Chain A
Amino acid sequence: MREERSDMSEDEDGGGGSAKSRGGGGAPPPFSDQVLEIVLENVLQFLSSRRDRNAASLVCRSWYRAEAQTRRELFIGNCYAVSPRRATERFRRIRAVVLKGKPRFADFGLVPINWGAHFHPWVSAMAAAYPWLEKLCLKRMSVADGDLSLLAHSFPNFRELSLICCEGFSTAGLAVIAEKCRHLRVLDLIEDYLEDDEDEMVDWISRFPETTTCLESLGFDCVGGAVNFEALEALVTRSPALRRLRVNHHVSVEQLHRLMARAPQLTHLGTGSFGSAAAAAAAAIPQGGNNVVDLVSTFAASKSLVCLSGFRDMAPQYLPAIYPVCASLTSLNFSFAEISAEELIPVIRHCHSLQIFWVLDTVRDEGLQAVAATCKDLRELRVFPLDATEDSEGSVSDVGLIAISEGCRKLRSILYFCQQMTNVAVVTMSKNCQDLVVFRLCIMGRRRPDHVTGEPMDEGFGAIVMNCKKLRRLAVSGLLTDKAFAYIGKYGKLVRTLSVAFAGNTDLALMYVLEGCTKLQKLEIRDSPFGDSALPAGLHHYYNMRFLWMSSCKLSVRGCMEVAQRLPHLVVEVIRERDEDDDHEAVEKLYMYRSLAGPRNDAPPFVEIL
């Protein structure tokens, strides 16, 4: 499923982000060395892992050069960690770029708009340096239509564009991409915010070339407006290589039916609304029955389907239509469908091969029990709350968590929203699911203790870090004392990403983590009582991290300034949203990250770089 790419593995990025600076250049090496380098290049081109490549580049100057010449994929985990110029000067033959911008807490509205992460300087540099660029993946970047236009005009061989959680562009930009990128294979728009006015939308679907296309993947479920359906149907018809299609909620189930008939070879399908267009709904009689029958046979004919998503406006009577493909589904996303346990059970019963399952908590513990009973191969589970407030009733609980842990022993990744939890349930999961790599539990009530014992959730999370030896990503919640963080520091040796909210008692908690988690790369903290005296505990480690985010904690300018002075290659940003009413000294939001580029020159007025 496309969504899994949003959790891209967070390796140390050496792609220009290494703190050890390297200059290129100097006099050309002697002949024998040149031969050696050519041999080396031929060998190194097979090296794909960027961590291996980073290691190779550190051996000696010769290896550094050879590696730089042979690297094809550039990964920039933080767009401000290195300047576009520097990156393009070191790596000359890049074909694919991954570029990430804003800190993750931007997804939750904690980063003001216009903070930065502009794509423009990057696309300008790449347009000059990488004429053979084929693939681009952007995450949390600010992308303008002009940038997309420049992209479309600069890279004649361009093939794949993925925009994840980006904003700033509109259907006008998409139109240029569709029209100019004649070799486009992939256009995936995932959870982006398009800047369209309802009446100014461009019919971008019609702009694809009229000949047979080489499209393999087209995903636009986040595009707000309706697309020209006739054009879409025609496009699908002339795209024989299409394997992944994700339409938006404006596509009704009747229209979906037509699209599926044109593309029985699809492997991934985003079903759009999966409800009837209003007119047909009004009839709601025997015709409706025929519709379902037709849909069932269409699904039966789609023998390659392994991934289903969408279901934005699902009419329950259409759900049985997917039965024919359930047994072969590896990925199912119901997270926008308000279905009950009764509606889920007949479906999930067939899904023996399911590995990835996203669902709304409307299915309740009972629904999760059904999942646990059938989906023995489940690797990833995400349970989202329909009512995302602190005092909602809560539809899933420790019962569901325990059931999942007992049924889905191969679980690797879980994201679970609930209103209340028990330590016992979390401990049970830690023992049953030894393969856990990602454990994210969000108890929505802030600082809520174990609802049976009244105790903090320390023991539960402690068990997770103790028992799950492969754990790399952890998000904690509920009532947590410093003890929980002592556990994390002591046992979370592989943890790379840690998210903390409304937790801990004293600075000790943060110190435990900074001192203990040797592999920590991304630390994001909000609303926790950690102050200046904890920051020095990480001085030895900040250069190894992608970033540290702390908001609504107890930091002051003085404490942050000390860090900035001790570590010159660290960019320390203080973000102030409010006007200077009260405390000038208090730091509301701190975002700090290593950088070879120094303080950025595009910082908006509310960002102060220390």
Chain B
Amino acid sequence: MEGGGSYGSDLDNLKATELRLGLPGTDEPKKLPSMLPRSSKWAILEATKRSSSEIKSVEKDQKPAAKAQIVGWPPIRSYRKNSYQAMKMEAETTGMYVKVSMDGAPYLRKIDLKVYKGYKELREALEDMFKCFSLGEISRMDESNVYEYAITYEDKDGDWMLVGDVPWEMFLSSCKRMRIMKGSEAKGLGSIP
């Protein structure tokens, strides 16, 4: 409020009112390696490598958190370290194997949900996977325009839900396993996609 450092404090106040993305209290980071859409872990690796010097300057500005990453420790070659980081990132965002059962089938299957781009691909893959059991088509409807089978999943809370209601990403993070059940049983689950 005093005259002396007023210009500086005005700037600070201005900054506080600045509209930008990000949590309050954090500075907008300088260019960090962009996460490329497809499982391009090697692009991540390359981007990580290229902006490592930029990350260094970011770390200098933002006082690092309690567990400061020491440069070059543990002593793993950058090439290897970047590969492992990419592997871990991919592991965190990929590899979701869930069991799939189908009423009437003698055994279950397991699929990696991450491989599919959306519900349509998933449905097609399931169709393919279970047709060998000759139980009928998952996508076929009977006379009253009701699907013969319903694809359902158990979510994190243990509830059985109809596949297709929530956005794909949300489905991925909440699906624990799946069951293809006879349409007659599924009536209680609500509208069929």
Residues of chain A whose beta carbon lies under 8 Å from any beta carbon of chain B: 105, 107-110, 113, 165, 191, 193, 198, 222, 224, 249-250, 278, 281-286, 312, 335-336, 338, 384-391, 417, 442, 444, 446, 499, 501, 526-527
CB-CB nearest in chain A for B78: A109
The minimal Cβ–Cβ distance linking B167 to chain A, given in whole angstroms, is 20
Find out whether the CB atom of B67 lies under 8 angstroms from the CB atom of A109.
no
Query: Known: A105-B72, A388-B84, A442-B74. Contact between A282 and B115, CB under 8 A?
Result: yes
B79 contacts the other chain (CB 8 A): yes
Can you pick out 17 interface pairs between chain A and chain B where the beta carbons lie within 8 Å of each other? Answer: A105-B72, A107-B77, A107-B78, A108-B73, A108-B76, A109-B72, A165-B79, A224-B45, A283-B128, A285-B128, A312-B83, A385-B76, A389-B67, A417-B76, A442-B74, A444-B74, A499-B75
Q: Please list the 3 inter-chain residue pairs (A to B) with the smallest Cβ-Cβ separation, ordered nearest first.
A: A108-B72, A107-B77, A444-B74
Query: Known: A110-B71, A224-B46, A338-B91. Contact between A282 and B116, CB under 8 A?
Result: yes
The minimal Cβ–Cβ distance linking A410 to chain B, given in whole angstroms, is 26
Name the B residues within 8 Å of A335 (CB-CB). Answer: 80
Name the A residues within 8 Å of B111 (CB-CB). Answer: 284
- Give A126 to B75 CA distance when docked, in angstroms: 34
Find out whether the CB atom of A388 lies under 8 angstroms from the CB atom of B81.
yes
Name the B residues within 8 Å of A278 (CB-CB). Answer: 39, 115
Find out whether the CB atom of B84 lies under 8 angstroms from the CB atom of A386.
yes
Name the B residues within 8 Å of A442 (CB-CB). Answer: 74-75
Q: Which of A113, A249, A387, A444 contacts B42 (CB 8 A)?
A: A249
Name the B residues within 8 Å of A336 (CB-CB). Answer: 83, 87
B88 contacts the other chain (CB 8 A): yes
CB-CB nearest in chain B for A499: B75
| From A108, A224, A286, residue with most partner B Cβ within 10 Å | A108
Find out whether the CB atom of A108 lies under 8 angstroms from the CB atom of B75.
yes
Name the B residues within 8 Å of A107 (CB-CB). Answer: 75, 77-78
Give 1 or 0 for each of B87-116: 1 = CB within 8 Å of chain A CB.
Answer: 110010000000000000000000110011
Find out whether the CB atom of B42 lies under 8 angstroms from the CB atom of A224.
yes
B27 contacts the other chain (CB 8 A): no
11 further A-B contacts with Cβ under 8 Å, apart from A282-B116, A338-B91, A390-B67, are A107-B75, A278-B39, A283-B125, A284-B112, A336-B87, A385-B74, A387-B84, A389-B74, A390-B74, A391-B67, A446-B73
Name the A residues within 8 Å of B132 (CB-CB). Answer: 286
| From B45, B75, B76, residue with most partner A Cβ within 10 Å | B75
Query: Known: A282-B115, A285-B128, A285-B129. Contact between A222 and B79, CB under 8 A?
Result: yes
B49 contacts the other chain (CB 8 A): yes
CB-CB nearest in chain B for A440: B75
CB-CB nearest in chain B for A278: B115
The minimal Cβ–Cβ distance linking B185 to chain A, given in whole angstroms, is 26
B10 contacts the other chain (CB 8 A): no
Query: Known: A249-B42, A282-B115, A284-B111. Contact between A388 and B76, CB under 8 A?
Result: yes
Residues of chain B whose beta carbon lies under 8 Å from any beta carbon of chain A: 39, 42-43, 45-46, 49, 52-53, 67, 69-81, 83-84, 87-88, 91, 111-112, 115-116, 121, 125, 128-129, 132
Query: Known: A224-B42, A391-B67. Contact between A501 and B75, CB under 8 A?
Result: yes
Name the A residues within 8 Å of B52 (CB-CB). Answer: 109
The minimal Cβ–Cβ distance linking B183 to chain A, given in whole angstroms, is 24
Name the B residues within 8 Å of A110 (CB-CB). Answer: 71-72
Name the A residues within 8 Å of B87 (CB-CB). Answer: 336, 338, 386
Name the A residues within 8 Å of B42 (CB-CB). Answer: 224, 249-250
Main secondary structure of the interface of A (DSSP, over half): loop
The minimal Cβ–Cβ distance linking B5 to chain A, given in whole angstroms, is 22
- Give A384 to B79 CA distance when docked, in angstroms: 13
Find out whether the CB atom of B75 lies under 8 angstroms from the CB atom of A384.
no
CB-CB nearest in chain B for A443: B74
Name the A residues within 8 Å of B43 (CB-CB). Answer: 198
- Give A389 to B74 CA distance when docked, in angstroms: 7
- Give A305 to B52 CA distance when docked, in angstroms: 38
The minimal Cβ–Cβ distance linking B123 to chain A, given in whole angstroms, is 12
Find out whether the CB atom of A386 lies under 8 angstroms from the CB atom of B78.
no
The minimal Cβ–Cβ distance linking A441 to chain B, given in whole angstroms, is 11
Name the A residues within 8 Å of B80 (CB-CB). Answer: 191, 335, 384
Name the B residues within 8 Å of A198 (CB-CB). Answer: 43, 46
Query: Known: A110-B71, A198-B43, A338-B91. Contact between A281 and B76, CB under 8 A?
Result: no
- Give A222 to B73 CA distance when docked, in angstroms: 22
CB-CB nearest in chain A for B131: A285
Find out whether the CB atom of A282 lies under 8 angstroms from the CB atom of B121.
yes
Name the B residues within 8 Å of A527 (CB-CB). Answer: 70
The minimal Cβ–Cβ distance linking A42 to chain B, given in whole angstroms, is 44
CB-CB nearest in chain A for B84: A386
CB-CB nearest in chain B for A108: B72
Query: Known: A113-B53, A386-B84. Contact between A108 and B71, CB under 8 A?
Result: yes
Name the B residues within 8 Å of A286 (CB-CB). Answer: 132
The minimal Cβ–Cβ distance linking A432 to chain B, given in whole angstroms, is 25
Find out whether the CB atom of A388 lies under 8 angstroms from the CB atom of B115.
no
- Give A272 to B69 CA distance when docked, in angstroms: 31
Name the B residues within 8 Å of A446 (CB-CB). Answer: 70, 73
- Give A385 to B87 CA distance when docked, in angstroms: 12
Find out whether the CB atom of A282 lies under 8 angstroms from the CB atom of B74.
no
Find out whether the CB atom of A281 lies under 8 angstroms from the CB atom of B88.
no
- Give A109 to B77 CA distance when docked, in angstroms: 8
Name the A residues within 8 Å of B72 (CB-CB). Answer: 105, 108-110, 526
| From B83, B84, B88, residue with most partner A Cβ within 10 Å | B84
- Give A282 to B122 CA distance when docked, in angstroms: 9
Find out whether the CB atom of A501 lies under 8 angstroms from the CB atom of B73.
yes
Find out whether the CB atom of A388 lies under 8 angstroms from the CB atom of B74.
yes
Find out whether the CB atom of B125 lies under 8 angstroms from the CB atom of A109.
no
The minimal Cβ–Cβ distance linking A201 to chain B, given in whole angstroms, is 11
CB-CB nearest in chain A for B129: A285
The minimal Cβ–Cβ distance linking B111 to chain A, given in whole angstroms, is 6
